[in-house]
């Protein structure tokens, strides 16, 4: 079969299967358009790429060194610990300063996620208000939604009870978009694409990139947690 466009929509884990898929797609791109650019997808794992913008992030540590993680926990007292290349909220734990399971959890992570670091972040209490997904098209703001966690959850993933809500942007969030948009566009994540004859002229295809952010302060400011690596192909009105 022949295809004009291939959409790569592959969730983590960011493992050899994921990496191999990007290498295979490199062989057909750009003769066959691959959305997003497979080289750039491979070179920008979501939780590592966002470290370029630490001014917008909560305190973050990436390591598998138990002593460094213990020191980070002692400094911030209430933290989130999760696998670096996980997805869907799986393996995300909130560890408070008095929690006595910290060492056991690190042992379990070592068995479950061998040969990869973990990511620890200071817990932000206002996450109870939800985490926000901001959609950029061609490097510009196009829309946003908020995911509010269920009463019994610290995670806001919808498959564990999170609820989507309409959302708008604060000034700080627009500053985040302006800071990150040009780099995402340069990497080929945020382009308006005209696919030509197969689609009616009233339709467009757009590659979008989701910027995931946590509300961190009572004044409504948000901090970036990661840039979502998944791309989506959206067909329809450009005013979505």
pTM for this predicted structure: 0.71
pLDDT tens series, the chain, 240 aa: 588 888 777 776 778 888 999 999 999 988 888 877 888 888 888 788 888 988 888 899 999 999 999 999 999 999 999 998 887 778 889 999 888 999 999 999 999 999 889 999 999 888 788 888 888 777 888 888 888 888 888 788 777 888 888 888 888 888 888 988 898 888 877 432 222 222 222 222 333 334 444 444 445 554 554 444 333 333 222 222
Angle between helices 66-76 and 102-112 (to 10 degrees): 140
For residue 233, give the 3-state DSSP assignment: strand
| Euclidean distance between CA atoms 211 and 224, whole angstroms | 7
Confidence (pLDDT) at 223: 52
Sign of the torsion formed by the C-alpha atoms of 103, 109, 112 and 116? negative
Confidence (pLDDT) at 219: 52
Confidence (pLDDT) at 138: 77
Give the pair of three-digit tokens for residue 193. Answer: 């694409």
- Enumerate the H helices of the chain as residue ranges: 16-26, 38-43, 46-49, 66-76, 102-112, 171-186
Q: Phi and psi at residue 102, in whole multiples of 5°? A: -60, -50
| Euclidean distance between CA atoms 201 and 203, whole angstroms | 5
Task: Classify residue 53 as exposed, middle or buried by CB count within 10 Å of its CB (0-12, 13-18, 19+).
Answer: middle
């Amino acid at each position: 079969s022949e295809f004009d466009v291939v959409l790569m929509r592959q969730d983590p884990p960011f493992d050899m299967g994921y990496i191999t898929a990007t290498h295979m797609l490199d062989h057909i791109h750009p003769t066959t358009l691959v959305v997003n650019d497979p080289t750039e997808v491979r070179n920008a794992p979501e939780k590592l790429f966002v470290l370029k913008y630490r001014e917008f992030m909560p305190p973050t540590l990436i390591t598998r060194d138990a002593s460094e993680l213990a020191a980070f926990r002692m400094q911030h007292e209430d933290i989130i610990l999760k696998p670096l290349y996980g997805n869907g909220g799986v393996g995300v734990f909130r560890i408070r300063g008095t929690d006595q399971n910290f060492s056991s959890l690190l042992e379990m992570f070592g068995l479950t996620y061998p040969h990869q670091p973990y990511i620890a972040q200071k817990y932000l209490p206002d996450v109870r208000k939800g985490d926000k997904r901001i959609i950029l098209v061609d490097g510009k703001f196009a829309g946003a939604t908020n995911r509010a966690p269920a009463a019994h959850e610290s995670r806001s993933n919808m498959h564990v009870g999170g609820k989507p809500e309409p959302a708008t942007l604060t000034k700080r969030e627009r500053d985040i978009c302006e800071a990150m948009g040009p780099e995402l566009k340069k990497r080929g994540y945020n382009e308006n694409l005209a696919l030509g004859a197969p689609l009616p002229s009233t339709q467009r295809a757009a590659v979008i990139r989701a910027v995931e952010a946590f509300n961190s302060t009572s004044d409504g400011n948000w901090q970036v947690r990661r840039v979502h690596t998944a791309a989506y192909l959206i067909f329809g009105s450009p005013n979505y």
